[in-house]
Amino acid sequence: MTVLVTGGSGLIGSHVIEALRSRGETVRALVRPASRAAVEQLGAEAVPGDVTDLAAWRAATQDGKAGRTGAVRAIVHAAALVQRRGSWEQYVALNVDATRLAAQAARAAGARLVHVSSVAVYGGVAAYGPEPERRTEDFPFSPIAERDFYGRTKRMAEAVVREAARDGLSAVALRPSVVYGERDRLFTPRVLRVVRLGVVPRIGPGTNRLSTVYAGNVAAAAVAALDAPVSGFRAYNVTSDAAPLLTQREFFAACAAALGSRLRTIPVPAPLARLAMTLWTSPRLARAAASFITGENPYVDDLARRELGWQPPFAAADAVRRTVRWFVENETPGH
């Protein structure tokens, strides 16, 4: 039996392929033609196509067609448009309409759907407070800003999956926080650009634990969700690495150590940091960024550990080392 993965050349999807292959699973990936070589290098069978195309989904889930490796028993849908410039229509097509097709394909194949969602579904601006909280999966949704196309469409996509489960689909939604790791195109490159300067602003005391999770740990949750004894629709936060966790200061220091460089921190008052960020972006995004940097991770993932049997296999310090090593080996030096 085969597991179909979307977004296989991206951050989470590529780690899912690696995790599945490491336990001997046969993996098929629905990918854009330009990404075919990348997923084949990871050990997946590539099916070129677009996740917004119904015909591509049919081709990817058909058994015994064009030399395909077998029936699809599960779909891990990780493809999404993530915090990049794009129109509302593009976000809806890639994050909502494609998820609807994933649910239809899973139901037609009698397969379980593991949908990679996000804590963005909870909404709220500047949602990270200085004190530890315990936001479980029952935490109420807050309004999402109109211009937050990502958060709005991820909430819509999860609603699509929930509705499909009412018609008999077995579906799990995973809600990671900010994800870092090898092949990251967003968070990790920005962190490394700052760390390579040798001087990092420390906003607040730096003792808070960032709301981040390593992509390999998210992938482990996706693999655990494939066979867990759950039915209908279930959503799970996936928001922490294995202990010991790192504080804000320790996270940046670990990045510097992995680069083989020394790091100096300069204390910056939070109001001044927000003002500086506002000069480069909007006031809303500046508040959100400052809140993320100074706030504690409020999302707990006890339910995933209990019901899925998920135990994140990578501790934060090891995950940072693995991530930085990949960037040093694969990215242009100095970038």
Domains of the chain by start residue, with CATH: 2-183+211-241+296-315 (3.40.50.720)
> How many Å is the maximal CA-CA distance in the chain?
61
What is d(CA 246, CA 37) in angstroms, rounded to the nearest whole number?
35
What is d(CA 149, CA 4) in angstroms, rounded to the nearest whole number?
27
What is d(CA 178, CA 109) in angstroms, rounded to the nearest whole number?
32
Can you tell me whether residue 102 is helix, strand or coil?
A: helix
Q: Which two tokens stand for residue 303?
A: 């339910």
Q: Which two tokens stand for residue 153?
A: 């469409």
Cβ neighbors of 290 (< 8 A, separation 6 or more) are 126, 203, 270, 273, 274, 277
Pair 74, 223: CB distance under 8 Å: no
Find tokens 């597991």 and name the residue: 3
| Residues belonging to the chain | 335
pLDDT values of the chain reduced to their tens digit, one per residue, 335 residues:
899 999 999 999 999 999 999 999 999 999 999 999 999 999 999 999 999 999 999 999 986 554 455 689 999 999 999 877 789 999 999 999 999 999 999 999 999 999 999 999 999 766 788 788 899 999 999 999 898 999 999 999 999 999 999 999 999 999 999 999 999 999 999 899 889 988 887 878 889 999 999 999 999 999 999 999 988 999 999 999 999 999 999 999 999 999 998 888 888 777 776 666 665 556 666 677 778 888 899 999 999 999 999 999 999 999 999 999 999 999 765 44
Backbone phi and psi for residue 128, each to the nearest 5 degrees, phi listed first: -105, 110
Which candidate, 166, 196, 169, places its Cα nearest to that of 334? 196
DSSP result, 82-142: -SSS--HHHHIIIIIIHHHHHHHHHHHHT-EEEEE--GGGG--SS---SS---B-TTSPP-
Which candidate, 25, 140, 127, 12, places its Cα nearest to that of 78? 12
Q: Taking the CA atoms of the chain, what radius of gyration do you get in angstroms?
A: 20
Range list of β-strands (E), the chain: 2-6, 26-31, 45-48, 72-77, 112-116, 171-176, 178-180, 199-203, 212-214, 233-238, 264-268
pTM: 0.93
Residue 288 to residues 175, 191, 284, 293, Cα–Cα distance (Å): 18, 16, 6, 9
Q: Which two tokens stand for residue 253?
A: 């220091």
Measured on CA atoms in the order 160, 162, 166, 167, is the torsion positive or negative?
positive
What is d(CA 285, CA 222) in angstroms, rounded to the nearest whole number?
30
What is the DSSP pairing of strand 178-180 with strand 171-176?
A: unpaired
What is d(CA 239, CA 169) in angstroms, rounded to the nearest whole number?
25
Pair 313, 220: CB distance under 8 Å: yes
Find tokens 């392929």 and name the residue: 17
Which candidate, 93, 112, 97, 84, places its Cα nearest to that of 4? 112
Q: What is the pLDDT of residue 206?
A: 86
Measured on CA atoms in the order 178, 211, 213, 225, is the torsion positive or negative?
negative
